[in-house]
Amino acid sequence: MKQKAILSQLTAYKQGKQSHEIQEAYGLDRIVKLASNENVYGYSEKVKDYLIKQLPELNIYPDGYTAELRTAVANYSQVDENQIIFGSGSEEIIQIICRAFVFEGRNTVMAANSFSQYKHNTLVEGGTVKEIPVTSEGSHDLEAMSEAIDENTSVVWICNPDNPTGTTITEKELLAFMENCPKDVLVVLDEAYKEFVEEDFLLDSHTYLAAYANLISLRTFSKAYGLAGLRIGYGIGNPEVIHSLNVVRGPFNTTSVAQLAALIALGDQAFIKETKEKNNREKQKFYAFLDEIGWHYYPSQTNFIYVSTPVSGMEVFQYLIENGFIIRPGELLGYPNSIRITIGTEDDMKELQCVLRKFNK
Ligand SMILES: *Cc1c(COP(=O)(O)O)cnc(C)c1O
């Protein structure tokens, strides 16, 4: 077959076992999934109430322009409606960006071991990736990333807060980077965990768009909003960039149910506030626990923590799975001897501490 040569060197995304499969395999009563940074508190009750009463007409194609949600996001984000693109998760927007900006001979620049889809989609489009190691604090090394840009660079990926390290960059660092960055290089600020960031660490990304036509920020309803199963996210950039991406975008790429749920979810900011507060409380408690057992971690601005482990992450992963917890071993994320744990509910985190304490003895 005459497929792209690169495809034989890449693998399809390999998801972990489904919770019920693990439960059966290990004879567990229940399994707590702390592996994919989903919202452990569910999603807004308002979404459920509304969808039960007013399910969209499923026999009709969705509104390809996403008009109602577009107006709501424009108001919420204080941008114009022509600055927004919606996707089936922000992951689809990453894919669209690569399809629009990457081809053979081009490269993209990212932090090493950051979100895997930047690299995967770059390679699928025939480009190459320059991966720049993070600093000793786990942060993007924006100076080194800046130096890595060459005349064939079309996209730079900045994951802020970063997955998997949970760290953020400062406004000063970002603006210095943007000043240096060639105007024809698209800078993607992936803000999938923005809703979890503490006030002092927040970047007001949309206010920089006026100064930088080559900036785009990505947001999602999958994490804090708790709608990962519906697949909807969006990008906010300048109209010219958004126009190019819209040419590539499929005509009906988000479903009517997802559009409606996202609209209601966006309107329930009380749910987001509550999620953030609970997450912060549990995160602080878990920091104290990690300090006590002497496991190093990067302080996180997200709903997950990246932790160094005294043995291989795979070993901790296996031990935890046998005790009813699924987490992400660092080996799968490019870092050995570490794990990434989503912050769970109060009860689940208490239980996790008990289990980890036994392991560390
Ligand atoms: C989860 C995640 C996304 C995308 O999630 P979608 O469900 O596709 O919206 C994007 N970037 C990062 C860094 C993530 O962790």
Q: What is the mean pLDDT of the chain?
A: 96
Q: What is the mean pLDDT of residues 195-224?
A: 96
Looking at the chain, list the stretches that DSSP marks H as alpha helix, in order from N- to C-terminal side.
Answer: 19-26, 45-53, 67-77, 90-101, 116-124, 142-148, 171-180, 239-248, 256-267, 269-293, 313-322, 346-360
Q: What is the mean pLDDT of residues 312-341?
A: 94
SS3 244: helix
pLDDT at 325: 96
Confidence class of residue 347 from pLDDT cuts 50, 70 and 90? very high
pLDDT at 197: 98
- Whether residue 205 is predicted with pLDDT greater than 80 in this model: the reply is yes
SS3 279: helix
Answer whether 10's CB lies under 8 Å from 123's CB: yes
Does ligand 1 come within 6 angstroms of the Cβ of 91?
yes
pLDDT at 360: 80
Q: What is the mean pLDDT of residues 253-263?
A: 98
Q: What percent of the chain has pLDDT over 70?
A: 100
| Residue 221: both structure tokens together | 């309803």
Helix (H) or strand (E) holding 184: none
Rounded CA separation 81/84 (Å): 6
Does ligand 1 come within 6 angstroms of the Cβ of 89?
yes
pLDDT at 333: 87
Tens digit of each residue's pLDDT (9 = 90 or more) over 40-91? 999 999 999 999 999 999 999 999 999 999 999 999 999 999 999 999 999 9
Q: Which of 117, 220, 221, 332 to mutate to test the pocket of ligand 1 (most atoms within 8 A of CB)?
A: 220
- Whether residue 272 is predicted with pLDDT greater than 90 in this model: the reply is yes
- Whether residue 224 is predicted with pLDDT greater than 90 in this model: the reply is yes
pLDDT at 15: 75
Residue 91 C-alpha to ligand 1 middle, in angstroms?
6
Does ligand 1 come within 6 angstroms of the Cβ of 228?
yes
Q: Which of 43, 85, 163 to mutate to test the pocket of ligand 1 (most atoms within 8 A of CB)?
A: 163
Rounded CA separation 141/50 (Å): 44
- Whether residue 266 is predicted with pLDDT greater than 90 in this model: the reply is yes
Domains detected in the chain: 5-43+270-359 (3.90.1150.10), 46-266 (3.40.640.10)
Does ligand 1 come within 6 angstroms of the Cβ of 115?
yes
pLDDT at 18: 82
Does ligand 1 come within 6 angstroms of the Cβ of 233?
yes
pLDDT at 334: 87
pLDDT at 122: 98
pLDDT at 35: 94
Tens digit of each residue's pLDDT (9 = 90 or more) over 116-167? 999 999 999 999 999 999 999 999 999 999 999 999 999 999 999 999 999 9
Q: Which atom of ligand 1 is nearest to the CA of 91?
A: 8
Q: Which atom of ligand 1 is nearest to the CA of 221?
A: 9
Answer whether 156's CB lies under 8 Å from 182's CB: no
Answer whether 257's CB lies under 8 Å from 221's CB: no
Does ligand 1 come within 6 angstroms of the Cβ of 160?
no
Confidence class of residue 250 from pLDDT cuts 50, 70 and 90? very high
Range of weakest confidence among 33-42, 92-101, 328-337: 328-337
Does ligand 1 come within 6 angstroms of the Cβ of 342?
no
Closest alpha carbon to 245 in 68, 32, 94: 94
Rounded CA separation 254/89 (Å): 8
